[in-house]
Structure 1
Amino acid sequence: MIDILSYDFMRNALMAGLLASVACGIIGTLVVVNRVVFVAGGISHAAYGGVGLAFFLGLPVLPVTVAFSLGVAALMAKVTFGKRERADTVVGVLWAAGMAFGIILMDLTHGYNVDLMSFLFGSILSVPQSDLWLMAGLDTLLVAVVAFAYRGFLAMSFDPEFAGLRGVPVKLLHLAMLCMIAVSIVMIIRVVGLILVIALLTIPPYLAERGGRSLGGMMTASALYSVLFCLSGLALSYAFDLTSGASIIAVATVWFFASQGLKGRRA
């Protein structure tokens, strides 16, 4: 299997998996702990609007999709903060609107681009070198923001109301969290696609949560789980000629249900 590293596209794929795992570990943990999985799902599907916009304008997909997703995240943050009862409705509307916007723009784009499918179901084997540099920069930004505001995120994650009373800028942190979720989702879309992105954002943090003693420890363990799933999925797809994104999620899903079975036996 070591011969696969002789291919440039496979080395790029491994690096993309590692970079995406950093985002999964850090931001996926915040998604799970703050119980905003549905919001993350809304952002991921709305991001398709950014993909369609990039194709329509003939611009680089990743930067345009990041910018579009940040706009969606900011809108969700503004409407849903402190109004949990309205969150599901707003997320559902933006979810559908983003997808519809992207589809319409693709219809208006002359010609059909085969790369479009890679954003739906992932194409880690086709990640270019330029995207790796952008992913590395985004990872650095995510790590810096979380490290700088770690105590605030910790307080907000476990008791936002009390944190607000103690002077923690909960509203700003909520906005920052959704924006970081948007950035992470766009990165992971290149790995497993927007259809499967939520699984990679939630399964590793869930597994890490059981043995985690701190938020930082949970982030680290989650990132390691993500690395394991990405590498195992890539090896599986190479060995059996399977779709890489689906293979990664299949490995994560099997691990998830296996851990649930072991947990049930011990209980």
Structure 2
Amino acid sequence: MIEFLAALTDPSLPFFRYAVLTGIFASIPFGVIGTYVVVRRISYIAGAISHCILGGVGAGLYLQNALGISWFGPLHGAIVVALLASLILAVVSMYAKQREDSVIGALWSVGMAAGLLFIAKTPGYSDPMSYLFGNILLITRTDFYLVLALDVLVIGIIGFFYNTFLAICFDEEYAQLRGIRTHWLYLLLLCLVALTIVLLVRIVGIVMVIALLTLPAAIAGNFARNILQMMVLSTVFCILFVILGLGTSYSLDLPSGPVIILFAAAAYLLALLGLKAVGRK
């Protein structure tokens, strides 16, 4: 970790500081939204949204490099596609006759297929591996500011609708009887999940995004007494995993995304074993 601390203070490595700061600030909505994903049990829906993002990433690369639309990049495309996927899944869940799992599978595969086709037709070389498995070291100043803006949006909405979201997560029927428009709030929750996933993809990639979105919250759920405590603990765990993963990957010259996920998975396993051992006593 000495090398990690030295890199943070090295003036010739501004991208590394952006990576660390982005990981810390992104952990806040990850912990908050991840708590709702775990409590509401919508991990598969979040997985479909995350894999659809590759379609937006590919479209952004194509528009930027093939058509010269410089202001529309992969991150913008990911946001548009993630929100569109959230809308489709919410409408299917609330109104359509189709099986929800079939639509989830279709979005999951079509999004990735479209993304790979866009990347294949983009002039020059575009490596999909950094999007599939993450590379937080590619974070730029613009990306960092966009992360901050999305942080403010997510935290502001969650703070305003905190009690209402609790109602639709634990007793949606009761919320409907009280006159709460649960359908619209469910759509809003899915949109917040989508925006949070977009933040997370830059850190651990599309393939492993669900692990970091759910594992910190799952660990926190074993120790928290209420939802607010679960959010705070989940955020702290997420920050810890990101910093440990970045430090270890930098020292050992390993990809940062997989290392972060392994730390999260190891902590989850240790938490389960520890609770089981305590329970036996």
TM-score range, shorter chain: over 0.9
> Which residue is equivalent to 2:67?
none
CA distance in 2, matches of 1:110, 1:117: 17
CA distance in 2, matches of 1:189, 1:205: 17
SS in structure 2 of the partner of residue 64 of structure 1: helix
RMSD: 1.5
CA distance in 2, matches of 1:19, 1:91: 29
The residue correspondences of 1:159-178 to structure 2 (distance < 5 A) are 159-178=171-190
> Which residue is equivalent to 1:15?
21
> Which residue is equivalent to 2:199?
187
Task: Report the residue type matching 2:36 in the other structure.
Answer: L
CA distance in 1, matches of 2:114, 2:256: 27
Residue 15 of structure 2 corresponds to residue 3 of structure 1: no
Misfit runs of 4+, over 3 Å: 82-85
Larger Rg: 2
Question: Offset at 1:8?
Answer: 1.1
Counterpart of 1:24 (choices 24, 30, 45) is 30
CA distance in 1, matches of 2:229, 2:271: 19
Q: Is the 8 A contact 1:152 1:169 kept in 2?
A: no
Residue 97 of structure 2 corresponds to residue 97 of structure 1: no
Question: Offset at 1:81?
Answer: 2.6
Q: Among the aligned pairs, what percent are the same residue?
A: 38
Residue 168 of structure 2 corresponds to residue 156 of structure 1: yes
Q: Is the 8 A contact 1:81 1:174 kept in 2?
A: no
Residue 140 of structure 2 corresponds to residue 137 of structure 1: no
Q: Is the 8 A contact 1:13 1:124 kept in 2?
A: yes
Counterpart of 2:119 (choices 82, 106, 114) is 106
With structure 2 as the length reference, what TM-score do the two structures score?
A: 0.91
Task: Report the residue type matching 2:85 in the other structure.
Answer: V
Question: Offset at 1:135?
Answer: 0.3
Task: Report the residue type matching 1:161 in the other structure.
Answer: E
Post-superposition CA distance 1:56-95 (Å, at most 9, x none): 1113111121011101111111111377982211111111
List alignment gaps of at least 5 residues for structure 2: 65-71
Number of residues of Structure 1 aligned to a counterpart in Structure 2: 266
Greater CA drift, 33-42 or 56-65: 56-65
Q: Is the 8 A contact 1:47 1:98 kept in 2?
A: yes
Post-superposition CA distance 1:113-152 (Å, at most 9, x none): 23x3211111111200110000000010000000111111
With structure 1 as the length reference, what TM-score do the two structures score?
A: 0.96
